[in-house]
Amino acid sequence: MQVARSGEELRNGLKKTSGRRVLVPTMGALHAGHLALVGKAREIAGPEGTVVVSIFVNPIQFDRAGDLAAYPQPIEEDLAACEAAGVDVVFTPPAAAMYFPDRSVTVTENLLSRGLCGATRPGHFDGVCTVVLKLFLLSGCDAAVFGEKDVQQLAVIRRMVRDLDVPVEIVGHPTVREADGLAMSSRNVRLTPEQRADAPKIQRALRAAKDSGRKDAAGILEIAREGLEQTALDRIDYLSLVDAETLQPVETVVRPAVLAVAAFYGEVRLIDHVTIDPSDRAD
């Protein structure tokens, strides 16, 4: 496995092979969710192809300095996990290798990124789009794998690729969960044992709303909110029912919709969602 710390090292480390080059962008602190994306990347790349994992805690997508400072960065463990997972190249640049001090170009998506996380995290998706496009260009990847856990991120990146004719296939991977239902996240390690034990209730609240069979936003949101009130969460950032494709709020579920939540235990912000399809039935 090659480890590249600059764009130049990355280019030098990438050999021309007959297979596809598939990128998995991450911020590190790798868990089984990330590694499932790596497995998917290998499936797409094939044995002859190249799987590239980027590990970069992208400073320009953080809206809270404390969150950036507290973000776990166990780089040695991450490199070992990549090696064990059969990754070909890890790209882990320092921030100075990614951004000029006087950088002045940013990629902005203006519709899907406005609500949900974008509403309370100003500049977040500009940071995401900018770094993802840079990672695509630096790696020259044919395809990239993203988790459905970050459902808005995936939709925004699909839109960026569509609108800018970026020649990269975007592949989504279902959310990987702990045995108790909590969506895996690098931020979970920052939860206290009590918060960690409480956190699966977030997914249960969303599922209760989905499983009610209700199709009206008011009813769905009320059931989810009741469930969230049973948790030890300190603050709910948002709880929204939006169209799965446009991410705009919906009144009634007539096409696939996403019931999404972002909430805080102390300073730790977690997100989760369920998809509600009109053909779903309560069971």
Nearest approach, Cβ of 247 to ligand AMP (angstroms)?
Answer: 15
- Residue 124 known to be catalytic: no
Nearest approach, Cβ of 216 to ligand AMP (angstroms)?
Answer: 29
Distance CA 89, CA 251 (A): 46
Nearest approach, Cβ of 153 to ligand AMP (angstroms)?
Answer: 6
Task: Please say which residue, 178 or 222, places its beta carbon nearer to ligand AMP.
Answer: 178
Task: Please say which residue, 210 or 269, places its beta carbon nearer to ligand AMP.
Answer: 269
Nearest approach, Cβ of 148 to ligand AMP (angstroms)?
Answer: 7
Question: Nearest-CB residue to ligand AMP?
Answer: 147
Helix (H) or strand (E) holding 55: strand 50-55
Nearest approach, Cβ of 29 to ligand AMP (angstroms)?
Answer: 7
Q: Which of the residues 31, 34, 124, 273 is marked catalytic?
A: 34
Task: Please say which residue, 39 or 219, places its beta carbon nearer to ligand AMP.
Answer: 39
**257-265 and 268-276 as β-strands: parallel, antiparallel, unpaired?**
antiparallel
Residues binding ligand AMP (CB under 6 A): 26-27, 33-34, 37, 146-147, 149-150, 173, 175-176, 183-186
Task: Please say which residue, 166 or 176, places its beta carbon nearer to ligand AMP.
Answer: 176
CA-nearest of 268, 261, 265 to 67 is: 268
What HEC string does 125-152 produce?
HHHHHHHHHHHHHHHCCCEEEEECCCHH
Task: Please say which residue, 33 or 93, places its beta carbon nearer to ligand AMP.
Answer: 33
* Token code pair at residue 201: 């209730």
Is 215:252 a contact under the CB 8 Å cutoff?
A: yes
CA-nearest of 98, 120, 118 to 8 is: 98
Query: Which amino acid appears at position 213 of this protein?
Result: G
Sign of the Cα pseudo-torsion (271, 272, 276, 281, in order) = negative
The catalytic site residues sit at 34
